[in-house]
Chains A and B, each alone.
Chain A
Amino acid sequence: MIGVSHYLILSGLLFSIGFMGVLRRKNLLMLFFATEMMLNASNIAFVAIGNYYGDLSGQMFAFFVIAVAASEVAVGLGLLILLYKKYGSLDLDVISAMKG
């Protein structure tokens, strides 16, 4: 039978896939995709724990995480378009101004 630990292990796995993406990506758009994966993984954990305790708070938190993710995408994509207009690339090595 599928218990809460199955969901939590899956959530940790998806989160670490997203974390690996954040660490290895140099393209800003791909970096955004990786953060979306991490947010989704945390949502699964919230809902699974809420279901385990018969509590609606987990679903509430997941709901607000989705709202935050939506607004983050709107602002972040606007900034990405500005950066692309300025530098002609989304590569972090090209964009970075500080050397070190």
Chain B
Amino acid sequence: MYEVIAFYVFAISTTILFLITAFSKNVLYAMTALASGMVMISGFFFLLGADFLGVVQLIVYVGAVMALYAFGMMFFDATKDIKEKHQNPTLVFILGGLMALVFVIMFSAPIIGENVQAIHPVIEGVGNAQAVGMVLFTKYLVAFEVAAVMLLVAMIAGIILAGKKMDYSLTTNDDTYDHEDEILKGAGK
């Protein structure tokens, strides 16, 4: 009974928050709604018994990704509403509805097919985090290491890209500062 109530509360709040994110004109509202939607999605993971993934969702998405967006928004003007020119809004809604239909059919196809079996069955007698660790560090070890290298590459790329011309003001637009020279010399001095 509690599962049903929790599912519907999380489902309705996630849908509303994501709709706000998709249709809001203000960047700050959209980001806040997206962060709260991520918190609600971690609730689904806890409901489905994936405790470790729920905690990872909270830490990585709400803690790291949204904080990164918040820091990135310091570079942009977040307070004023963005103006967007929409050319064909009805086509967007038709395509989105068709997309929803296709996805529901596609996702329910494996339920109709009966011959699907678990490759890595849930290990009995241990908690979720322990079971995830046992599978992650045996079957998915190479993918795990590659993901670690990928995160390192992304970190270096982020530092290099955002660190360029850091001492050049975006808002005052002073042309006295020779920032073309800075690009040629690189950010590594």
Interface check A99, CB cutoff 8 A: no
Known contacts A37-B21, A77-B72; is A60 also within 8 Å of B136 by CB? yes
Known contacts A30-B27, A59-B50; is A47 also within 8 Å of B72 by CB? no
Which residues B19-77 have CB closer than 8 A to chain A?
A: 19, 21-23, 27, 30-31, 34, 37-38, 41, 44-45, 47-50, 52-53, 56-57, 60-61, 64-65, 68-69, 72-73, 75-76
A52 vs B44: C-alpha distance when bound (angstroms): 14
Q: Interface size on B (CB < 8 Å)?
A: 88
Known contacts A7-B48, A60-B135, A75-B161; is A37 also within 8 Å of B22 by CB? yes
* B7–A2 CB distance below 8 A: yes
> What is the CB-to-nearest-CB distance from A75 to chain B, in angstroms, rounded to a whole number?
5
Interface check B104, CB cutoff 8 A: yes
Known contacts A56-B131, A70-B64, A74-B158; is A34 also within 8 Å of B121 by CB? no
A10 vs B30: C-alpha distance when bound (angstroms): 20
A57 vs B52: C-alpha distance when bound (angstroms): 14
What residue in chain A is nearest B151 (Cβ atoms)? Answer: A71
> What is the CB-to-nearest-CB distance from A4 to chain B, in angstroms, rounded to a whole number?
7
Q: Which residues of chain A are within 8 angstroms of B177 by Cβ–Cβ distance?
A: none
* A82–B19 CB distance below 8 A: no
Question: B130-144 interface mask toward A, CB cutoff 8 Å, 1 = contact, 0 = none?
Answer: 011001100110010
Interface residues on A, range: 35 or more
Partner of B158, one of A6, A52, A77: A77
* A10–B11 CB distance below 8 A: yes
Question: B109-150 interface mask toward A, CB cutoff 8 Å, 1 = contact, 0 = none?
Answer: 011000011111111000000011001100110010001001
Question: A31-62 interface mask toward B, CB cutoff 8 Å, 1 = contact, 0 = none?
Answer: 01110110010011101111111111101101
* A40–B161 CB distance below 8 A: no
Interface check B184, CB cutoff 8 A: no
Q: Which residues of chain A are within 8 angstroms of B18 by Cβ–Cβ distance?
A: 14, 17-18, 37
* B85–A44 CB distance below 8 A: no
What residue in chain B is nearest A19 (Cβ atoms)? Answer: B99
* B76–A84 CB distance below 8 A: yes
> What is the CB-to-nearest-CB distance from A79 to chain B, in angstroms, rounded to a whole number?
6
Partner of B160, one of A11, A17, A78: A78
* B100–A12 CB distance below 8 A: yes
* B4–A16 CB distance below 8 A: no
> What is the CB-to-nearest-CB distance from B58 to chain A, in angstroms, rounded to a whole number?
11
A-B contact list, 13 entries, CB within 8 Å: A8-B107, A15-B99, A17-B22, A24-B86, A26-B84, A27-B27, A29-B27, A37-B34, A37-B37, A56-B123, A70-B151, A70-B154, A77-B158
